[in-house]
Each structure stands twice: as structure tokens, then as C-alpha cells.
């Protein structure tokens, strides 16, 4: 029997954790392709991943020579991160609205596809601006939301829709500005040829042709206004 269930983000990521890294995800692939080219991460940099999940961005940043630290509110996702080479002890169970590190402790705080699970991002932006002079946030693009995209995954015969909050790009800018940040750059992108293979492996080439017509991800970098 098949069906659709809608559950909270906490419940959803607990169910998803064990298979998260093994599930082909074109949105994650697109975000990674765009962001790796613009983050300018190098040896000795201190990177915080706020909402680090299974540690995919910590793994990449560490491979560039960065010192990494992650926070996430899902214990099951952090268990997956802890098992990855070099990441043991690099993450902690915590809410991104109360990041347990000191003021100015990192060079860059990133929040990858997580802000949409936060009801009111104002506190999260203040916290990221408190601990870092640079903040990078990616999210599902509002155009994709308007096109009917959901944040979902499959669990057995069920499709699980994870409850989320739709924040406009303008509202994220307002929260960032209120936290003392000013925009450096923004990328709003659709799928490209590098993501075609992921759709093809899932037997969804037609969906690829349809999806590439809309912007599906938004990535923004802000810096402290005083920098």
C-alpha cells in the first residue's frame, strides 16, 4: 500500500538519516556544484556548518584544509556524521538558534538547505552573525515552491513530506540586514547538464526537462557590514 505522510522536520530527518547519503539528490548536487566554486575555502579557515546533518559539507571543507565544526538538532543525522573519516568529535547536538561557540569563533558560517525548517529565521541569522563575519545560506527557491515542489523522501512504500516554512528571498535579506550583515553575492539557479544523470538514474528524464525551466535553489553570501 502506498501513501503520503506529512511529518515534522525532526521526525523526518530521524527516519531519513540512515539512507540520506545514499539517496541520489539532484538538488544537493546542484547546490554543491555552485557553492564549491564560490566559497573560497582554504587551509586554516574555520568553518561552521549550522544544520550540518550527516556532515557532507564538513567532509568537503576539511578536505580543503579547513577546521570544521557542525551543529544539528537531529541526533540520528549526527551519528552518521560521526562515522565519517576525520569528523568524530567535530559536531554537537544543538539548535542553530543557540549555537554553542563563542563570538567571532569562525571565518564562515554556512546553513545549507536548513533555514526552511526554521519557523522564524531572525534568531538563527543573529546567531550566525555573532559567531562569524561571513554567512552563507542556501534554500529551496521560491519559484520551486510555487511550482509545487515539496521537501520529501521515500520510506518504503510511502512518500514522506517534511513540514517546512516558505521564506521569501527578500525576508532572508531583511533578517540578515537586521543581524548586521550586507549581501556579497547571490546565485539563483536551475538544473543543468551535470544533474541530468541523476534524473536519468531515477528514470525521470522527462522531469529533468521540466525542472530545468525553473529556478530551484537560491544561495546567498552576506558579510558583516563593518568588514
Evaluate if residue 1 carries a pLDDT over 60: no
Q: What would you measure as the largest C-alpha separation in the chain, in angstroms?
A: 57
- pTM beyond 0.85, yes or no: yes
pLDDT digits (tens, 9 = 90+) for 65-84: 999 999 999 999 999 999 99
List, in order, residues 6 or more apart from 172 with CB less than 8 Å away.
Answer: 115, 121, 125, 137, 139, 220
Cα-Cα-Cα-Cα torsion 11, 68, 99, 102, nearest 10 degrees, comes to 170
pLDDT digits (tens, 9 = 90+) for 124-174: 999 999 999 999 999 999 999 999 988 877 777 778 888 889 999 999 999
Instruction: Please give the full DSSP string across 49-65, using - where no structure is assigned.
Output: EET-TTSHHHHHHHHTT
pLDDT digits (tens, 9 = 90+) for 172-193: 999 999 999 999 999 999 999 9
What is the mean pLDDT of the segment spanning 58-66? 97
pLDDT digits (tens, 9 = 90+) for 8-51: 888 888 888 888 898 889 999 999 999 999 999 999 999 999 99
Tell me if 85 sits within 8 A of 21, measured CB to CB.
no
Name the CA radius of gyration of the chain, rounded: 17
Instruction: List domains and CATH numbers for the chain.
Output: 3-224 (3.40.50.150)
Amino acid at each position: 500500500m502506498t501513501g503520503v505522510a506529512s511529518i515534522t522536520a525532526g521526525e523526518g530527518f530521524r527516519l531519513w538519516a540512515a539512507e540520506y547519503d545514499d539517496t541520489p539528490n539532484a538538488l544537493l548536487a546542484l547546490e554543491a556544484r555552485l557553492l564549491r566554486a564560490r566559497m573560497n575555502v582554504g587551509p586554516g579557515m574555520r568553518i561552521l556548518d549550522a544544520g550540518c546533518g550527516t556532515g557532507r559539507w564538513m567532509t568537503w571543507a576539511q578536505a580543503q584544509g579547513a577546521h570544521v565544526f557542525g551543529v544539528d538538532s537531529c541526533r540520528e543525522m549526527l551519528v552518521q556524521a560521526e562515522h565519517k573519516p576525520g569528523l568524530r568529535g567535530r559536531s554537537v547536538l544543538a539548535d542553530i538558534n543557540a549555537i554553542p561557540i563563542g563570538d567571532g569563533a569562525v571565518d564562515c558560517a554556512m546553513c545549507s538547505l536548513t533555514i526552511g525548517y526554521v519557523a522564524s529565521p531572525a534568531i538563527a541569522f543573529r546567531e550566525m552573525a555573532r559567531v562569524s563575519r561571513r554567512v552563507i545560506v542556501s534554500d529551496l527557491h521560491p519559484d520551486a515552491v510555487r511550482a509545487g515542489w515539496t521537501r520529501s523522501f521515500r520510506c518504503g512504500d510511502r512518500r514522506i513530506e517534511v513540514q517546512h516554512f516558505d521564506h521569501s528571498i527578500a525576508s532572508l535579506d531583511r533578517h540578515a540586514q537586521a543581524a548586521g550583515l550586507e549581501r556579497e553575492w547571490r546565485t539563483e539557479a536551475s538544473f543543468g547538464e551535470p544533474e541530468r544523470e541523476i534524473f536519468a538514474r531515477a528514470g525521470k528524464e522527462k522531469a529533468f526537462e521540466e525542472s530545468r525551466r525553473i529556478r530551484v535553489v537560491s544561495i546567498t553570501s552576506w558579510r558583516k557590514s563593518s568588514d
